[in-house]
């Protein structure tokens, strides 16, 4: 038996356990383990005051890195429906109000969209990696698709029961997690981050 290679560990600053699960399933096969910064440190609420996914991802990563005195990554993500002026966008988690549940957000979206035929949409994810001293970099991913006419499936989270990715006939809510994890905005952002060397810390930190 050859020597076992210790997995590389990344620290993720997210309060969203679904995101954390997806990071772990996507990065696990690459021998990268993901720990939650919120499990290891007390992190006060970080306000998302940016006006873009990138600004919010950078705010979350930089504040969490400085509070924890560690290198961390964070992400900001959401759904853009083109016929709704790209709403809910950066407000995806709080579309129906600051305390809104996923179901309330989804109901608001379906109500606003009604039976419109123009249902094209995309999920966006921007990742940011930061040290306590500085932002290391960002990477973005998307998945294009459309909003179905009704809610189908109970897998995933957020808007997954109504999002049908291009080239598929089922919603993310109906798909097995491993299938979502090969094509999702989060998977694409992580792939881009790896391709551009973002997680190669020795290289990124010099």
154-175 in b/e form (b: 16+ CB < 10 A) is ebbebbbbbbbbeeeeebbbbb
Cβ nearer to ligand ITT, comparing 87 with 199: 87
Q: Which of 62, 73, 78, 188 binds ligand ITT (CB under 6 A)?
A: 78
By CB under 6 A, residue 14 contacts ligand ITT? yes
Rounded to 5 degrees, φ, ψ at 170 are: -110, 155
Which of 81, 115, 103 is closest to 173 using CA atoms? 103
76 is catalytic: yes
List the end-to-end C-alpha distance of the chain, in Å, as a whole number.
35
User: 87 pairs with which residues across the strands?
Assistant: 81
Number of residues interacting with ligand ITT: please give it, by CB under 6 A: 21
By CB under 6 A, residue 123 contacts ligand ITT? yes
Cβ nearer to ligand ITT, comparing 15 with 204: 15
Contacts (CB under 6 A) with ligand ITT, residues 162-201: 184, 186
From 39, 76, 107, 118, active-site residue: 76
Q: Alpha-carbon distance 79 to 19, whole Å?
A: 14
Residues identified as active-site: 76
Contacting residues toward ligand ITT, per CB under 6 A: 14-16, 19, 48, 60, 76-79, 92-93, 105, 123, 156-160, 184, 186
């Amino acid at each position: 038996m050859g020597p076992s290679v210790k997995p590389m560990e990344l620290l993720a600053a997210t309060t969203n356990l679904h995101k954390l699960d997806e990071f772990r399933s996507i990065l696990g096969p690459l021998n990268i383990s993901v720990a939650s910064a919120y499990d290891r440190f007390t992190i006060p609420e970080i306000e998302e005051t940016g006006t873009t996914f990138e600004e919010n991802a950078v705010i979350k990563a930089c504040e969490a890195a400085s509070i924890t005195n560690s290198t961390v990554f964070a992400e900001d993500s959401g759904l853009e429906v083109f016929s709704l002026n790209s709403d809910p966008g950066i407000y995806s988690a709080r579309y129906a109000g600051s305390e809104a549940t996923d179901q309330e957000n989804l109901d608001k979206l379906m109500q606003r969209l009604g039976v419109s035929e123009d249902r094209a949409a995309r999920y966006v994810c921007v990742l940011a990696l930061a040290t306590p001293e500085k932002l290391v970099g960002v990477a973005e991913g998307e998945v294009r698709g459309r909003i179905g006419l009704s809610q189908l499936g109970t897998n995933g989270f957020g808007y997954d029961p109504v999002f049908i990715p291009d080239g598929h006939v089922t919603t993310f809510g109906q798909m097995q997690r491993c299938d979502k994890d090969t094509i999702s905005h989060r998977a694409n952002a992580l792939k881009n981050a790896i391709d551009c060397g973002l997680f190669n810390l020795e290289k990124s930190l010099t």
